[in-house]
Structure 1
Amino acid sequence: MTSIAPLPLQPRLPAFGGGLRLSAGLTLAAALGLAAAPAMAQQGLPSFRNLVKKVVPAVVSIAVTESAAAAAADDGGDQGAPTPQAGHQKVYGAGSGFIIDPSGIIVTNDHVVGGATKITVSLADGTQLPAKILGVDQLTDIAVIKVTADRPLPYVSWGDSRQVEVGDWIMVAGNPFGLGNTVTAGIISARGRDIMSGPFDDFLQLDAPINPGNSGGPAFDLNGGVVGVDTAIISPTGGSVGIGFAIPSEIAQNVVSVLEQHGHLDRGWLGVGLADDESGDGVRVTMVQASGPAGHSGLRAGDRILSVDAKKVDTALGLIRAVAEIHPGERARLAFIRHGRVLSANVTVGLRPETQAQ
C-alpha cells in the first residue's frame, strides 16, 4: 500500500553482519545513464559538474547505532529491515547530512539520529569522525550534530526556499542505500505540501530520486544554496518513485539556529481545538481546555479568532503556526468574534506539549 512516511534510513542490519549486493541491472542502469548524458547536454540541459565539485565535499554520510528497543519504536521504521532478534541489542542504520560551519556543525533528520547511542560521520574524503547531538526537534524532523576535526571542514550555506518556484532545477546529494556520496537532479514539483505528518507541514515536493539513506541530505539550488532538507518519500516499494519531500530552508534554518544555541525548541500553545471556518474569515474554536492558556483568558468554544497580535489568521494551521512562534510565557492579543461582536483577549501563551497540536 502506498504511504507517505519519513524517508527511511538505509535498512538497519543486525550487528553480526550483512552487506549490499549490486545487481547486473544496477550496473546496466549506470551504463545507460552515462550513455544518455552527452545527448542530454546536447539538448541544452544543464550540467551539474561544477555544482557537484562545489558542494559535495560538505555532504556527509551518517552511520548510527541504536538499541533494539529504540529501533522498534522508530516511527519512520525501515521498510524491509530485518527484525532484531533476541540477544542482539544493537542495530545499525545510515543516513545523510551536510556541514553548515567549518567547526563541524552538521544538519540531518531527527529520525536519523534521534534514538542513536553512537553516531559516526564519514566525510567525502573518507575521514570518519564521532559525532554528538546538539539538539533535535521531532515536530520538524530536524537534528543538529557536531564533529571535531583537526582542520576547518568544507561547508555549504543556506539558500532561500522562498525564491524557488515550481519547475526550478534542484540537485539532491546524500548516501542512498549506504553507497556513499551520490547526486541526483530534478525539479521542484510543488510547494506547501501537507503530508499529514504534523502541524508544521509545509514541504517542498521534489522529483529528484531520493531513497532510503538520503534522510537528512540537502537539496541545492543551482547557486549551491541548501533550499531543502530531504525527509520523506511516498512509495509503494520503499524506493524512489519520483515523489519526495524536503523541509524548506526558510523553516529549517530557523530551527537549526535555535537547536544549535539551546538544544531544544519551545513553542507556544493555547490549549484549544480549532477548525477552518466556512466563511474563510478567521478560525473557529471547537474546544477549550479549561486549565489551558485560552481557558484562563475566557475564550470559549464557538468563538472565531480573527488575528494574533494584529496578524490576520485564516486557517487553523496558520493560527497554530502563529502561536507556536510566540515564546511560552509571553502575552498575545487575540481578536475574535462572539455572537456577532468583535472582542479581544490577552492570553499568556503556554508551552506546547509534544502530544498537542494547538
Structure 2
Amino acid sequence: MAKQSGGAKTLQGLASLTSKINQGEVIGVSGSSSSSLYQVFLAPIDDILPSKYQTREAENPKRFESLVTSMKQTPPQEFKDALPVRHHPDQDGKLQVVRGGHTRLKAAKAAGLSQYPVILVEYDNKRSAFDTARENLAREDLTPVEEGRLYLIFKHEWGYTQEGLEAELGISRNRIKECMAAAQSHPLIIEMFTRIKEMESSAKRGLLAAKHLRRLEVLDERQPGLTARLLSPLIDAFLYEKLLTDALDIATKRIVASDDPEATLAALLRDLQQQEETGEQPELESVKKDVSKKETAIPEIQRSTKLHLATQRLRQFVSLIQDRSPSEEERTILTNMRNEIEAILQRA
C-alpha cells in the first residue's frame, strides 16, 4: 500500500461512505501539486454508479472489447487512471462518476472486476453535467441525438438558452438547435442515428437529413401511423445512399405537399429501383397511373443522384491519377466535361 503524502487531503464527506469503502485500500495519490493531492481508493465496483448526465448509449464494439481484454490482464491497483467520483446525491453509500470514465466503468464490470480505483471529489450537479458534456463532446462516436440530449438537460434543469450553451461550450447555436431537435424527433429518426453509428466509423452524419425527414411528422395529423410508413423506406434509401441529403430535401417537400403521400413515395421508390437496375434515367409514364402529373417525376432527385454518382467517379479518377499528367484522351474528356459544366452554370 502506497504511503499517503503529508500534503494529501481527505475531502469532506469521506466519512459518510459505506463501511466497505471506508475500509478500502488507499493505493496512491493523484494531483498536480503537493498542495492539491487526492487519495486514490479501491472502491467496490457495484457501489460506483454512472452520472445521470451521461447520454452516450453505445460504445464502439471493437474498442470496448479491447478495453475489457486489457482490464482482465491488469490488476486494478496498476490502472493508470482512477475514476473521479462524488458521493451519490440520491443514494446513500453509493458513489457517482462525475465526468469521464463511464466506458472504463462498463468495461471493468464486463471484465468481472470487483473493485476499481476512484478519486473522491466535491462536485455539484451543474459542474458534473458540464464536465460530462465536455468529455462526451470531444468524442467522435457521440451521435447528434446523444449530443442533443445533453443540451436538453441544461435547458430543462438550469434554463440554459441556445445562446448560453454556445458561450459555455463553444458549440455553434445552429448545431445545438439541430441536435436538440434530433433528440426530440420521431423514434425512427432517432434510430437512424444509431444505425449510422453501427454502420460507419463516424456518428456525425445525418443531422441535415433528419431535419428534412422531420417534415413528415405532421402527416400523422392526417392519418395516425402515416409518418412511420413513410419514414422507414426513406431512411433506408438515405442510409444506403440511394437518396442523398439534397434529394431527401426535395422528396420530403413533395411528399408533404401531395394529396396522396404514399403514392408519391411509391413512385419515387420505383424510380430509384429502376435507376439502380438499369443505370438509365427511369421512364415515368407508369408513375402517372398512381399520382397526378404535377407529382409524377421528381426530376431534381434524379438529377441530384446522377450528379452525386458523377462526382464519386470523378473522385475515383483523381485518386487513380494522383499527381500524374492526364493522357491526351483523358485531357479531351476532362476539357469537354469542363465546357459542359461551365455551360450549365451560365444558365440563368
Calculate the TM-score normalised by the size of structure 2.
Answer: 0.24
Higher helix share: 2
Higher strand share: 1
Q: Which has the larger radius of gyration?
A: 2
Higher RCO, Cα 8 Å, sep 6+: 1
